[in-house]
Amino acid sequence: MNRRHMQGKGSTHIPLPVYLESWEKSLASKSSQLFEEWDEEITQLRKLWDASIAKKLLREQFQAGAKDNVQIKKIVCFGLGCLQKGKWSGQCILQYFAAFTIAETLNEIYQAEDESTPDIQIFFQEVKYPELDRDIWRKHAYKPSKPVDDPHGFLLIDENTFVIAPHIPNCVPVLQICADVVEGGPAGFICDRMDELDLSKREYCVWDRISPRVVRMLSKCRKMKFDGHKVEDEIRERLEMKLYWLWKMQGWWKPKGE
C-alpha cells in the first residue's frame, strides 16, 4: 500500500506495508442458557455502572468539553471485544458502557440547546462478532446503535465522528486510516497512549501508531486524560480485573473552528 505524506510543497508516495487479515464471522454460542446467563450479568453490571463514580467522572469530562469542542453526531467503535469468560470480558463490557454513556451525556447537552437535534448514533466494528454478542447488545445497547462489518466502520467516519479504539494492535493503523479518510480528521478519539507529538519528526517505523498526517491531525485537538478516573472495588471484583481500561487511554477532541 502506498502512503502519501506531504513534504514541503511537493508530495511523496512512500511504499509502506500494512497488515490486513480477514476473519470468518462466528455463528457460535446461540444457546438460550448462555444468553440468559449473559443477559442477567449485563443487567446487574449496568445497574452498578449507572451508580458508579466511573460513570460520573466520564460524564463530567464530556460535559465540560461539549460547549467548546466540535459537535459529535456519531460514535464509531473499533475492537471493543466480545463476551467471553475470563479477564478480558470485564474490560469489554465497561468499554461498551463508556460508549453508551458518552452518547447519552452529549444527547442531553445538544438537545437542551436544540430539541430537534437527533440522537447520536453508535456503530461497532469488531473483527469477529459472535451471534451471542449481537443478540445481547441488541437488547442491552444504547439506541440507536448497531454492529457493522469491516470496513464499513471506517467508511462511516466523518468530521463529526468520535472514534473509540482501545487496545488496538500496532499492526492495525486505525489513526492513519482516520487521518486519510477525512480531511483534517474526525471530531475526536479515545485511543491508546502515544508519545508526545513532534511535528518536526521525519522518520517513522512501520509499527508506529502515528504518521506525519496523524501528528498534524492530533495537534489540532485538545487532549483528555483519564488517569484520575476511578472505578468501584465492587465492579472490579465482580469483573475480576485489576486495572481500568481508561487508565491506559488518551482522549482527543477537536475545538470548534479547527
pLDDT in tens, 107-125: 999 999 999 999 999 999 9
Looking at residue 87, what is its pLDDT? 53
On the question of pLDDT at 23 being above 60, the answer is no
- The set of cell numbers assigned to 91 is 474490560
Looking at residue 202, what is its pLDDT? 78
For helices 131-140 and 32-50, the axis angle rounded to 10 degrees is 40
**Residues 132, 135: Cα–Cα separation, whole Å:** 5
User: What pLDDT band is residue 1 in, cutting at 50, 70 and 90?
Assistant: very low
Looking at residue 30, what is its pLDDT? 56
- The set of cell numbers assigned to 63 is 460535559
**Residues 83, 126: Cα–Cα separation, whole Å:** 12
Please give the sequence-ordered ranges of beta strands (E in DSSP) within 133-179, or none if there are none: 145-148, 161-165
Nearest to 163, CA basis, from 62, 81, 75? 75
Stated pTM of the model: 0.86
Q: CB of 134 within 8 A of CB of 147?
A: yes
pLDDT in tens, 177-189: 999 999 999 999 9
**Residues 47, 51: Cα–Cα separation, whole Å:** 7
Looking at residue 10, what is its pLDDT? 53
28-42, 56-70, 141-155, 241-255: which range is least confident on average?
28-42
User: What pLDDT band is residue 26 in, cutting at 50, 70 and 90?
Assistant: very low
For the chain, domain boundaries: 30-253
Strand ordering across the sheet containing 74-78: 145-148, 121-125, 74-78, 161-165, 188-192, 249-253, 222-225
**Residues 65, 99: Cα–Cα separation, whole Å:** 16
Mean pLDDT of the chain: 86
Does 1.10.20 match the CATH number of domain 30-253?
Answer: no
* Amino acid, res. 207: W
User: What pLDDT band is residue 192 in, cutting at 50, 70 and 90?
Assistant: very high
Looking at residue 15, what is its pLDDT? 57
Eight-state DSSP code of residue 26: P
Taking residues 234-257, report their average pLDDT: 93
On the question of pLDDT at 196 being above 80, the answer is no
* Amino acid, res. 145: S
Taking residues 70-93, report their average pLDDT: 85
Look at 202 and 123; give whichever has higher pLDDT.
123
- Cβ partners under 8 Å of residue 160, min gap 6: 70, 71, 72, 73, 74, 186, 187
User: Does an H or E element contain 229, and which?
Assistant: none
pLDDT in tens, 129-183: 788 888 899 999 999 999 998 889 999 999 999 999 999 888 888 999 999 999 9
Looking at residue 150, what is its pLDDT? 85
Taking residues 10-24, report their average pLDDT: 51
Looking at residue 88, what is its pLDDT? 57
Rg (the chain; Cα; Å): 19
- The set of cell numbers assigned to 168 is 488496538
**Residues 258, 254: Cα–Cα separation, whole Å:** 7
